[in-house]
Amino acid sequence: SSHEHKINFRKSKEACLSYIQDALLQKQWKRAAEFLTCYVESLEKDYSREHIGPSEMIWRIGTEILWHHSQSSMKEFNCFMEQMKTLGVKRYLKVCLEHVFHLLCNGQIDEAYQNLSLAESWRFGEQTAIQDKEMKLIEAYRGLLDYCSWSKQKSILLEHGEDGFSDLAVEQEMHRYFRKAAVNLKEIIKIPGVWDVFVKCYVDLLEFYGDHNEARQVLNEYAYNSKFPANPNAHVYLYQFLKRQGESKKSLISALKILHDIVPSHELMIDFNTMLQKSKKRKKRRLGLEVIFAALDYAGWKENVKAWSCLARQVKQIVTSEKYVDWIKQEWNSRKDWWPAFHFSRYLAKRNWQENKSLSYEKALVAGIVLGKDCKYFKYVSHQGCKAQLKRFRMLKKFVNRHNPVYLRISG
């Protein structure tokens, strides 16, 4: 019908929004501002039926433009944010929070702190209860900034301590910040979520004041409570804590085991393998082999000398003892189709030799065992090594030749 094509307020503003969107995507801030200027009169209309109303649009778009536009200043930005806070009471805390993030990105810690404090004291009838989550976040971030202040005071104290001064005022300040920070940080990490930065800071505080039990409890909760989303970092933090505490290898290993399950390519896998290799228990050593092979499945580890040396060491040990050669066979089984091209090609042999002789050494050892002395990689590297009259390569050649039957067992 004729009225479908009628140009009215709504259609005109929809078109305006799509021009803004295009401009934003192409980072044309001036053009986006031009169209936003035309869009803002939407505020005078009622859009209560829409999912996202013009006030939210204007807030989000305006923020983007002011943040990136070359002629926009922080003062203008702040002024704009203040206006946005008055626009929608249902979003008040969210706007405050995002404003704080921007201030932090801009290094304005004090202003951020002020805004957080102001937001904390906000009350608005039933909205206060509805926006409870945002309020918790605000309190948490204020706690975080309190932690930063605590940290600063701590550094000052340590400096003065070195110089022989004792500063009671600084110490008291430090304790005050600790109390303020601890209260809020403790609250937020009770709620299931990803709170890496809060957890780290809180644990730092607890450790400094000697409350290791609380720290351990917090980290355990964070890592093992099923209500919390799976988070590899939780296990990393726990592991690091346990290590600092000098815990037994057993508990360290159990902490890293889960990390291996979630992120087999994690950088801590080297530590993990090292620990496992040294274990007296057969199962643990077996796991160690599994762990290091799994890590080297990932492209990011291809040129990691340490990882290869771990694997080489373990392979050498197994071969030398002639026990548990089956382990290598089992691990190699699922990899024999693709590791040769992935790690042991002739091209890689040349490149590794040129760039990093230690890397080529370790890799050659592994290749020599799993692929035999006639494989491309081993032949090239050992030949080059012997030609260069490097002792260890001669030893390597001897070793692999001597243990060639192992290869036959693995491949057969």
Partner 1 sequence: RDFNERCAQCSEVNWGLTDGGRFYCRSCHNVTERTREVVNTDFITNSRVQTVSKGLRKQEKNDAGCEWYICEGFQLVLKKQAEAIEALGVCPQMKDEILCNFWRCYLQKSKQAYCKRPAGETVKALSVCESSTDVDSDPERPSLLHLLSLSESEGDLQTDCSFASSVSKVSDSTSVYSGSVDGSLYLMKNQKEKLRMTMPMTLSFCYMALLWLREPITLSELLRFVVEGHIPYLNVFQHFPEKMKLCGLDLRIFCVESWPVYEEVFNKMHELAAFLDLPRFPDITDSCFLHPDMLCMKYLMEANLPDELHNWTCRVVKKIGIGEVDFLTLTPGNKSTRKVKYDVLAAAVIVVVLKLLFLLDDHYEWLLSEFAEERNKNNTEGGPYFEFKKWYEVVKQSLDVEQKKLDEERAKYLWRCEKPLFYSVKNKSKVLKRRQMVVNLQNQFGKLSGSVRRAEKPNPSSFQLSWSEENTDGTCFHGHSLKGVLQEKCGLLTAMNPDYWLCTVKLCNEKLCGHLAHYREVEFPQSYHFVLGLFSFLLRIQPSYIHDEVCMIEHKLFNKKLYKKLKYNTVLRK
Sites of contact with partner 1 (CB under 8 A) = 1-3, 5-10, 12, 15-16, 18-19, 29-31, 33-38, 40-41, 43-46, 48-49, 58, 62, 65-66, 69, 71-72, 76, 79-80, 83, 85-87, 89, 92, 118, 121-125
Minimum separation from the CB atom of position 17 to partner 1 (A): 8
Q: What sign does the dihedral 312-314-316-318 (CA atoms) show?
A: negative
Write down the residue that tokens 């090609």 correspond to: 345
Buried b (16+ CB within 10 A) or exposed e, 205-219: bbeeeeeeebbbebb
Task: Name the residue among 379, 377, 382 with its Cα closest to residue 395.
Answer: 382
Does residue 308 contact residue 296 with C-beta atoms inside 8 Å? yes
Q: Which is nearer to partner 1, 83 or 254 (CB)?
A: 83
HEC assignment per residue over 26-93: CCCHHHHHHHHHHHHHHHHCCCCCCCCCHHHHHHHHHHHHHHHCCCCCHHHHHHHHHHHHHHCHHHHH
Nearer to partner 1 by Cβ, of 8 and 213: the residue is 8
Q: Please, what is the minimum distance in Å from the beta carbon of residue 172 to partner 1?
A: 24
CB of 177 to partner 1, least distance (A): 21
Separation in Å, CA 46 to CA 43, 51, 55, 91, 232: 8, 12, 10, 17, 46
**Residue closer to partner 1 (CB basis): 102 or 373:** 102
Q: How far is the CB of 38 from partner 1 (least distance, A)?
A: 4
The nearest distance, CB 112 to partner 1, in angstroms, is: 17
Q: Closer CB to partner 1, residue 68 or residue 281? A: 68
In the Cβ-directed half-sphere of 164, how many Cα atoms lie within 13 Å? 0
Q: State how far the Cα of 337 lies from the Cα of 297, in Å rounded to an integer.
A: 12
- Pick 2 or 248: Cβ nearer partner 1: 2
Q: Which is nearer to partner 1, 123 or 280 (CB)?
A: 123
Nearest distance from C-beta of residue 74 to partner 1, angstroms = 14
